[in-house]
């Protein structure tokens, strides 16, 4: 098989334990033997067997990434590769490994999490999704196992759960205020699943902004759609058939905004001349759209990076109280938003 610690020990004329100490950089080892052992390790091409090491340490230096079930609509969203990149960057810096969940159903994911936990495969987990009630979070909490969720955890547990998220209320409020300043008077809100926290929070910010501007939010300008792309198309149909169609739309997601854009294009309604669009996320696609989308960058990469960072902290000290990290956002003005200048149609 491979070169073991014993082979190194023999060749260096020391005990295996000494070699182990050299690997661990134990301070109480003489510079001389250290050098000698390292030379032999080099010569023999020694690499520690992680399985043996994990076994005795009861620690793996690997974190599990829990993906949402495929039935979760936004799965195809570029959001995931991007958080993953953020996580990857941090993991690489800190020499952590990444283990990916493969289950495709909610039930399967729960089982996989349980298995990961009991089989001691990982030191902690990052949950890439958030639902209102979640047996997985309850399980992990019950076991006091380190984990971090990307997004908003269930309200009732949010005090006990570490998470990274944006301030979605504030973000949506800012977007709404921006459109207000652009003189829009009828601003529609195109949400995702009605129970999703992202949608809930952003709707709240939207309403706050309207009210602070002395306007009364009108429910008929608020629609919800689950399907990431088609939802955008349907929203347009609904909204544009109002007696007084909106002059601006706030759309939950860039991909959804693409659906909006396309339907508007089909209806021969010009963006941004007749209708302004502002969406969220700023994935690559937002920039590539025609016209390029004005969108709120939620710094997805950083979301992932910070989640990984926070998880490490929890692994180092699992007893510490839960923490949250709020990631900043930034409005990226591109070509789907403009000053509203009276009726055009």
Residue 35 in contact with its own copies, rule: CB under 8 A: no
d(CA 70, CA 279): 24
- Residue 20's binding partner, choosing from its own copies, DNA, none, with beta-carbon cut-off 5 to 8 A by kind? DNA
Please report whether residue 261 would count as binding its own copies according to CB under 8 A.
yes
Beta strands in 77-161 (DSSP E): 97-100, 124-127, 147-150
> Is residue 38 within the footprint of its own copies (CB under 8 A)?
no
Pick what 70 binds: its own copies, DNA, none; C-beta below 5 to 8 Å, kind-dependent: its own copies
How many other β-carbons are positioned within 10 Å of the β-carbon of residue 147?
30
What is the smallest separation between the CB atom of 159 and its own copies, expressed in angstroms?
Answer: 28
**78 touches its own copies by CB under 8 A:** yes
Q: Does 81 bind its own copies (CB under 8 A)?
A: yes
- Residue of 163, 149, 48, 35 lying closest to 95 (CA atoms): 48
Task: Say what angle helices 31-44 and 16-23 make with each other, to 10 degrees.
Answer: 90
Kind of pairing, strands 330-332 and 294-297?
Answer: antiparallel
Asked whether position 54 contacts its own copies by CB under 8 A, the answer is yes
Pick 123 or 201: Cβ nearer its own copies: 123
> DSSP of 280-312, one letter per residue?
EE--HHHHHSSSPPEEEE--HHHHHHHHHHHHH
> β-strand 62-66 against 124-127: which pairing, if any?
parallel
Interface residues toward DNA, by CB under 7 A: 1-2, 4-6, 13-18, 20-21, 23-24, 26-30, 32-34, 46-49, 52-53, 55-58
62 binds its own copies (CB under 8 A): yes
Other Cβ atoms within 10 Å of 169 Cβ, number: 18
What string of H, E and C letters represents the secondary structure of 211-226? HHCCCCCCHHHEEECC
**Helix pair angle (168-181, 197-212), 10° resolution:** 40
Say whether residue 270 binds its own copies (CB under 8 A). no
Rule CB under 8 A: is residue 237 a binding residue for its own copies? no
By CB under 8 A, name the one of 5, 65, 223, 307 that touches its own copies. Answer: 65
255 binds its own copies (CB under 8 A): yes
Site for its own copies (CB under 8 A): which residue of 73, 103, 132, 331? 103
Binding site for its own copies (CB under 8 A): 1-2, 45, 47-52, 54-55, 58, 60, 62, 65, 67, 70, 76, 78, 80-81, 84-85, 88-89, 91-92, 96-100, 102-104, 108, 114-115, 118-121, 229, 255, 258-259, 261-262, 265, 284-285, 287-288, 290
């Amino acid at each position: 098989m491979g070169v073991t610690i014993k082979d190194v020990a023999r060749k260096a004329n020391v005990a295996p334990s000494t070699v182990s100490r050299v690997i661990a950089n134990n301070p109480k080892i003489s510079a001389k033997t250290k050098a000698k052992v390292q030379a032999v390790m080099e010569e023999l091409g020694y690499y520690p067997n992680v399985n043996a090491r994990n076994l005795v340490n009861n620690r793996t230096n690997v974190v599990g990434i829990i993906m949402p079930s495929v039935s979760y609509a936004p799965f195809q969203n570029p959001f995931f590769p991007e958080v993953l990149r953020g996580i990857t960057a941090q993991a690489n810096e800190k020499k952590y490994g990444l283990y990916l969940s493969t289950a495709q159903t909610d039930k399967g994911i729960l089982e996989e999490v349980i298995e990961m936990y009991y089989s001691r495969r990982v030191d902690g987990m990052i949950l890439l999704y958030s639902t209102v009630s979640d047996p997985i979070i309850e399980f992990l909490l019950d076991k006091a196992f380190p984990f971090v969720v990307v997004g908003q955890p269930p309200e009732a547990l949010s005090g006990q759960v570490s998470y990274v998220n944006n301030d979605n209320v504030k973000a949506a409020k800012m977007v709404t205020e921006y459109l207000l300043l652009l003189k829009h008077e009828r601003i529609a809100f195109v949400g995702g699943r009605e129970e999703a926290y992202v949608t809930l929070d952003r709707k709240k910010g939207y309403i706050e902004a309207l009210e602070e501007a002395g306007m009364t939010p009108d429910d008929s300008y608020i629609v919800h759609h689950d399907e990431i792309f088609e939802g955008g198309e349907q929203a347009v149909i609904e909204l544009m058939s109002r007696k007084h169609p909106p002059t601006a739309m706030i759309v939950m997601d860039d991909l959804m905004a693409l659906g909006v854009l396309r339907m508007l294009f089909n209806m021969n309604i010009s963006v941004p001349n007749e209708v302004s669009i502002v969406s969220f996320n700023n994935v690559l696609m937002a920039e590539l759209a025609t016209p390029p989308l004005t969108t709120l960058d939620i710094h997805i990469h950083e979301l992932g990076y910070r989640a990984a960072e926070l998880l490490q902290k929890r692994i180092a000290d699992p007893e510490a109280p839960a923490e949250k990290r709020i990631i900043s956002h930034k409005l990226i003005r591109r070509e789907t938003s403009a000053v509203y200048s009276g009726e055009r149609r």
